Amino acid sequence: MNHFAAADDISGRADLDVVLRRFYTAAFADPRIGPFFTEIAGTDLEVHLLRITDFWERALFRTAEYGRDAFAPHAALHSARALTAADFGRWVQLWRATVDGLHRGPNAERAKAQGERIALALHKRLAGPGASMEGEDGPGFVPLAALELRSLA
Ligand code: HEM
Give per-residue pLDDT as tens, 132-146: 555 445 444 555 555
Ligand 1 midpoint to CA 52 (Å): 8
C-beta of residue 107 within 8 angstroms of C-beta of residue 14: no
pLDDT above 80 for 147: no
> What is the per-residue pLDDT across 1-25, written as a single tens digit (0 to 9) for each?
556 666 799 999 999 999 999 999 9
The reported pLDDT for the residue numbered 153 is 45
SS3 at position 69: coil
Tell me which CATH code domain 13-152 carries: 1.10.490.10
pLDDT computed for residue 7 by the predictor: 72
d(CA 28, CA 24): 6
What is the pLDDT, as a whole number, of residue 148?
54
Cα–ligand 1 centroid distance for 106 (angstroms): 24
Mean pLDDT of the chain: 88
The pLDDT tens digits of the residues spanning 83-130 come to 999 999 999 999 999 999 999 999 999 999 999 999 999 999 999 866
Q: Which residues have C-beta atoms less than 6 Å from ligand 1?
A: 33, 36-37, 41, 43, 48, 51-52, 55, 68, 70, 73-74, 77, 83, 87-88, 91, 115, 118-119, 122
Q: What is the mean predicted confidence (pLDDT) over 51-78?
A: 97
User: Of residues 7 and 47, which shows the higher confidence score?
Assistant: 47
pTM, entire model: 0.88
Whole-number Å distance between alpha carbons of 124 and 131: 7
Give residue 56's pLDDT band: very low, low, confident or very high (50, 70, 90): very high
Question: What pLDDT was estimated at residue 135?
Answer: 47
* Domain ranges within the chain, ordered by starting residue: 13-152
Let me know: does 11 contact 106? Beta carbons within 8 Å.
no
Q: How far is ligand 1, taken at its centre, from the CA of residue 44, in Å?
A: 12
Residue 85: predicted pLDDT: 95
